[in-house]
Amino acid sequence: MSNLLPPVTIVDYGMGNIRSIEAAVRHLGYESRVSGDRTVISESEILVLPGVGSFPAAMKAIKAREIDTGIRDAVASRKSKIMGICLGMQLLTDFSSEDGGSPGLGILGGAVERFSRHVAATLPVPHIGFNSVVAPEGSVLFDGLPPETDFYFVHSFRMATGKSSALLATATYGEKFVAGFESGNVFGTQFHPEKSQSNGLRLLANFLGSELT
Amino acid sequence: MKKRLIFTLLYEKGSFVLSRNFRTQKIGDVRWLGSHYNFEKASRFIDELILINISGDPSFDEHFRETLSEVVSGVFVPVAAGGGVRTVDDAASLFKFGADKILVNRAIFEDPVLVSTLSRRFGQQAVVGSVDVRRIGSDFQVYTDKGTQVQPADRLGELISQGDLGELYLNSLDRDGTGQGMDPGIAEILDNSFQVPLILAGGAGKPEHLLNAIALPYVNAVATANLLNFVGDGLRKTRESIVNSGVELAQWG
């Protein structure tokens, strides 16, 4: 492994709390750069896709800047690794029904929907706060963390558990849902590692330092 | 839902301050906080951080945002910021400089349309209503402006039922800065009125004050702004005593 760590590109499409992710990446000893430029993104080896807000609005902003093409070039052609956080994780999937519905980047199969009605009948939605996440066996992201670890969530939409080619981490809020996934060079967390104290820093370090096979 | 231990940093005209019944005492700036209190280390024992700008003077807004940005660069928990949010742009710039939520105070009573707009734009979970409260027998009164302005408490309920406030930060007017213990009666009275998480603040002088308050069923979070008693070893000790008492907090290694 080279001593020179590649810079981490934090994808900026105008929606997301970029500052905390930047701070966490730097805290872990990596150089970070924030970019919404298609070429910079397509040539990056490590990408983080953040996001807070509405799924269709985010896709619209991403397409307007041709960031979708940049991400696909990097992830599919260059085999760069990417981690989506919160809405960023959702954007990596095929589809979300939020605000009338919108296709996603389609990098990982799966769809995102609002928490089920029976959840909303008994629990407040959005789901906010620290909740415990069950790690899948053999996970790169959760390496060195206990089988159940607390992470910080803020979301109303979630990816339902089901058949997936990816390794799925799960959490329960009235129902079980996907708290994180990993498949080759594609990673995602519904929770915010950059807001989850040392648990989140460990997980981010695992992502940044992971070797691709 | 797990409960939360919160630290509040009060900012006034370039410096962090201690507040005692709304009389403030200058403590130091962000560098001072780092060198004297090793704040980043102390922050490993909290679930959330709140920064409130009590300058009451827009010319300090920019410095407050810079301070926010510096503080959050070493603190990996959700951060709420507020004080002097008068426009959507004020709120947007706090988000831009690292806040995950914003606190609204006078706007609740003077500009509820702004609060609704903020909630629609940034999400209900990102808007925290922050007021000072005084218990009067089995009733309570709501105040702004450092306890000088009585406000209609009904307005809080209206905004909550419209889905415009995600939680309430209640600071005890009588206990503020006294270190004599928190006033659980406030949350008890309010609990019947509002269906959002309640953060209780004001009066914590030692770990057991926070422990006694957080153990109450209607209190979701406790906050202290008491730098002298809590930053340093105080937050670690408090967290330990809360966990040992059986109240569920998030755990990290």
pLDDT tens for each residue of A79-126: 999 999 999 999 999 999 999 999 999 999 999 999 999 998 988 888
CB distance A20–B95 less than 8 Å? no
Output the pLDDT for position A8.
Answer: 97
Q: With bands split at pLDDT 50, 70 and 90, how would you rate the model's confidence at B38?
A: confident
Angle at B96 between CA A48 and CA A192, to 5 degrees: 40
Dist. CA B218–CA B148, nearest whole Å? 27
- Provide the strand spans (E) within A61-147: 81-85, 95-96, 102-103, 111-114, 127-134
Listed residue (B6, B3, B4) closest to B202, CA to CA: B6
Output the pLDDT for position A120.
Answer: 87
Output the pLDDT for position B193.
Answer: 67
Which tokens belong to B34? 């780092």
Model confidence at B191: pLDDT above 70? no
Nearest-CA residue of chain B relative to A19? Answer: B98
What pLDDT digit, counting tens, does each position of A42-59 carry?
A: 999 999 999 888 899 999
What pLDDT digit, counting tens, does each position of B162-182 carry?
A: 989 999 999 999 999 899 999
Residues in Cβ contact with A194 at an 8 Å cutoff, skipping those fewer than 6 apart: A17, A20, A21, A23, A24, A85, A200, A204, B76
Output the pLDDT for position A210.
Answer: 87
What is the mean pLDDT of the segment spanning B120-140? 90
Q: DSSP assignment, residue A28? A: T
Model confidence at A1: pLDDT above 50? no
Look up the ipTM and state it: 0.89
What pLDDT digit, counting tens, does each position of A124-181 carry?
A: 888 989 999 999 999 999 999 999 999 999 999 999 998 889 999 999 999 999 999 9
Q: Which residues of A touch B74 (CB under 8 A)?
A: 23, 27
What pLDDT digit, counting tens, does each position of B83-126 carry?
A: 999 999 999 999 999 999 999 999 999 999 999 999 988 888 89
pTM comes to: 0.93
Nearest-CA residue of chain A relative to B122? Answer: A53
Angle at A200 between CA A90 and CA A26, to 5 degrees: 100
Model confidence at B192: pLDDT above 70? no
Dist. CA A185–CA A141, nearest whole Å? 11
Model confidence at B235: pLDDT above 60? yes
Within an 8 Å CB–CB cutoff, is residue A57 touching chain B?
Answer: no
CB distance B95–A198 less than 8 Å? no
Angle at B40 between CA B73 and CA A190, to 5 degrees: 55
Output the pLDDT for position A163.
Answer: 85
Work out the angle between the directed axes of helices B61-72 and A18-27 (0-180°, nearest 10).
Answer: 40
Q: How far is B253 from chain A (nearest CA, A)?
A: 6
